[in-house]
Amino acid sequence: MFKQIQRKLTIQYAAFFVLFVLILMIILYIAIQTIMQQQQVQELKMFYTKEQYHLMGDNIERDQEIESDQTDRHEKELHDHTTDEEKEIEYDTNRVYFYYVFTKKHELVHADESLIGLQKDIDRLMLQAKDGEPQSVKWKQEHLLLIKYHAKSDKNGNYIIVGQSITKQHRLLERMMYAFVVLTMIGTLFITVLSHYLAGKAMVPIRRSFERQRKFVSDASHELRTPLTVFYSSLEVLESDEENHFSSFGQEVLDDLKEETQHMKSLLEGLLFLARYDQKKLKTKKETIELSKIVNNIAKSFERTLPATITLKLEIEEGILFEGDETSIRELLYILLDNAAKFTEQGYIKITLSKLKEKIELVVEDTGIGISDNDLPNVFERFYQATKNRQKKGTGLGLAIAQAIVFQHHGQITVESQLQKGTKFTILLPTVDHN
Ligand code: ATP
Ligand code: MG
């Protein structure tokens, strides 16, 4: 149980840490990326503002001349620009910024580029771009930051695209992201180990007080058992003493006392059994027992106690042997049959014992009042009694003891139930020697 809590705590701590670090890393990454991008855009804008006249000046002057000329001359001039395009492009792979000047008809006028071949695609890349709005585009293996401007002084609609390669910064961000991921992974591993250790440390005092509490229950049950037995025997002596003549009221009180003492006795027995199970002090014999025979015998004597409204059905495979503690197995059967009888008004109770491939299956089912879906997951808990059945006598320890016996024999116990239809307990026990 403590190991399970420790594991749960470790997982929770680690999950919180991952979530926290992940959010932190994402915020950090976005912040760095935004700052870098803003810086790049600002630099690019500054480059344009500073060089604006120099970049577009020639063309503005030229365009102004063209404006005063004939239209066909203007077109010829533009045509000349396009044909002489190659001459007007300066390549400089070392430069940080580059630019391209286009006419309104998307013909290249003048350019200074650092990425050879970009001129063919640049206009297409920026076709949808709005004036002065920075665009991050991917071109081949490069990441570019581009801005398109229509110069205010240019009446002919010429425009310029200024740009800068941000591939290096992009790679840097990428590497940073990988580093973040690796750091998060290492951190998670470290936190997992640390939180496992810390959860274990925190568990020590809890475990101690829990053990103390268990020991107290065990000691108290043990101490109470003897006086209770004495008390019960005294009641019996009192009852059988011929010199005592009780009135009918006195006899009633005596009977009540006996019944309550009996109830307390079985409660103490149950508590003691579970305390021993918790402290792993329960001694379970390992002897070969004839399970088929035991179940048959118990069923026969149980049948005699059943009211006429309930029939007992048996489906018991002959010759099934089991290795375990006979007294515990008998107790297990009593608990299940007692419940079945207690919570069934009419119909039948059926016991099935069969040998599966590697398991022995024992099923006890009834056509009783059933257990609601809300109660069903809790019936194996100590002192749990379904709300509807509280008026029935019982300690609420029966099924907890049954489960402990099954676990002690390395088996499984499950329950299925439907209100007003019935309940079915299935027990699977190992056939082979498990040690
Ligand atoms: P005890 O067995 O200690 O005398 P109990 O029978 O109330 O007391 P459990 O045997 O542990 O306690 O059962 C727990 C609860 O599960 C019961 O109170 C009852 O509500 C429900 N239950 C168990 N078996 C059946 C059954 N066959 N049909 C309907 N309800 C059941
Ligand atoms: Mg019971």
Right CATH for 2-174 from 3.40.1840.10, 1.10.8.60, 2.40.10.480, 3.30.530.20: 3.40.1840.10
The predicted pLDDT at position 248 comes to: 87
Contact between 232 and 254 under an 8 Å Cβ cutoff? The reply is no
Residue nearest to atom 12 of ligand 1 (CA): 396
The pLDDT of residue 391 = 64
Position 424 confidence tier, pLDDT thresholds 50, 70, 90:
very high
CA of 156 to the centre of ligand 2 (A): 98
Task: Give Cα separations from 86 to 62, 81, 125, 165, 257 (angstroms).
Answer: 19, 9, 20, 22, 115
- The answer, yes or no, to whether residue 158 has pLDDT greater than 50, is yes
Hey, where are the domains in the chain? Answer: 2-174, 287-430
Confidence (pLDDT) at 49: 82
The two tokens of residue 425 are 């307990």
Residue 396 CA: nearest ligand 1 atom is: 12
At 128 the three-state DSSP class reads: coil
Q: What is the rounded average pLDDT of the residues 42-63? A: 70
Q: How many A from CA of 400 to the centre of ligand 2? A: 9
Q: Which two tokens stand for residue 268?
A: 């103490």
Pocket test for ligand 1, best of 334, 379, 415 (most atoms within 8 A of CB): 379
Q: For the whole model, what pTM was predicted?
A: 0.64
Q: Which ligand is nearest to the CA of 402?
A: 1
| Domain 287-430, CATH homologous superfamily name and number | Histidine kinase-like ATPase, C-terminal domain (3.30.565.10)
DSSP string, 270-325: HHHHHHHHHTT------EEEEHHHHHHHHHHHHHHHS-TTEEEEEEE-TT-EEEE-
